[in-house]
Amino acid sequence: MNRLAAFAATLTLLTAAHAAQQAPGQHPPLAVNDDTVSVVRGTQAGTLMLPQGTPPFAAIILLHGCGGVSQNMQSWAKRLVSWGYAALILDSFGPRGIETVCNHSSLFLPRERAKDSFAAAAYLRQRADIDPARIGLIGFSHGGSTALAASVQNRVMAYDAKPFQAVVAYYPYCPSIAPQLANDVQILAGSDDDWTPAPRCVDFVALYAGTSAHKPLLKIYPDAVHVFDAPGAPRLYFGHHLAYDAVAAADSFQVTRQFLDRHLRPEAAHE
């Protein structure tokens, strides 16, 4: 692993496979070296987690919400790794000294932030352990809006980028127009979200004709509000309701996995 790479891998400690079978007190020491330890600095743009198995791996880029990288991003990375994907948590705020845009989204518009996702994908394609033809994107809230922005065909072409193979947008602020999409999109939203209203996404999806090459899919969870996938007590945040919904979260994980597998790991789609 190149320690000077722009993106840092998370800490991984591997023991010998037979260690668990040995008598107590006879476990060999952990292999602690440059291949199993990485230093993650606060100014770095990302954290990469790799699954077990034989590379190259399909990879997913994770885009955080308006408040920056949260514990939920760590949970999502671990979830994706358990599904067999490499997961890159992309920090668009930390390296820029931005703490939040929750109260002022115009400070960093999703269409501008979309360039970060293209840069991250370009980085992943250079890695020998990542399959350059199987890269997806998942965004949450502001990151979900960014994921939609990164799916616009004209924007992909304008930045001389390559389309993602699959994009999932959790509770994004859906646009009022229907630009041509460069990839398939799955949108997940809560019916009672008072920050990024689900009806906007209903209208957005309805704008696409049945003949559209990439018509977005939409699933709305009854009674769910913003960040329904992130464990935590119900609360108000910048005047908006946030709450975890275990039923909606579990179903969204299943929908997301099936969507990703169909596009990125067809061999696993029927597991």
- 241 forms beta bridges with 236
- Domain 44-268 in this protein, CATH class: alpha beta
Q: In the numeric block, which tokens belong to residue 122? A: 């370009």
| pLDDT at residue 269, as a whole number | 65
Give the pLDDT confidence score for residue 18 in this predicted structure: 37
Q: Write out the two tokens for 37.
A: 């330890």
Q: Which residues of the chain have pLDDT under 70?
A: 1-25, 30, 36-38, 269-271
Type of residue found at 114: A
The pLDDT score that the predictor gives to residue 41 is: 72
Query: What whole-number distance in Å separates Cα of residue 8 and Cα of residue 71?
Result: 17
Partners of residue 152 on adjacent β-strands: 181
What is the reported pLDDT for 105?
Answer: 78
- C-alpha 160/C-alpha 141 separation (Å) is 26
Q: How many Å apart are CA 53 and CA 62, to the nearest integer?
A: 21
Structure confidence at residue 43 (pLDDT): 77
Identify residue 141 by its one-letter amino acid code.
S
CB atoms within 10 A of CB 123: 19
Strand, helix or coil at 237? strand
Question: Which one-letter amino acid corresponds to residue 91?
Answer: D
> In sequence order, which residues have a C-beta less than 8 Å from that of residue 235 and are 6 or more positions away?
241, 242, 243
Task: Establish how many alpha carbons lie within 13 A of residue 187's alpha carbon, considering only the half-sphere containing its beta carbon.
Answer: 33
pTM of the predicted structure, to 2 decimals: 0.87
Cα separation, 267 vs 271, in Å, equals 8
Residue pair 220/191 in contact by the 8 Å Cβ criterion? yes
Per-residue confidence (pLDDT) for residue 166, from 0 to 100: 98
Q: Does residue 56 have a cis bond before it (omega within 30 degrees)? A: yes
| pLDDT for position 15 | 31
Single out the residue of 118, 144, 174 nearest to residue 252, CA to CA. Answer: 144
Nearest one of 182, 155, 198, 169 to 259, comparing CA atoms: 169
| pLDDT recorded at residue 16 | 32
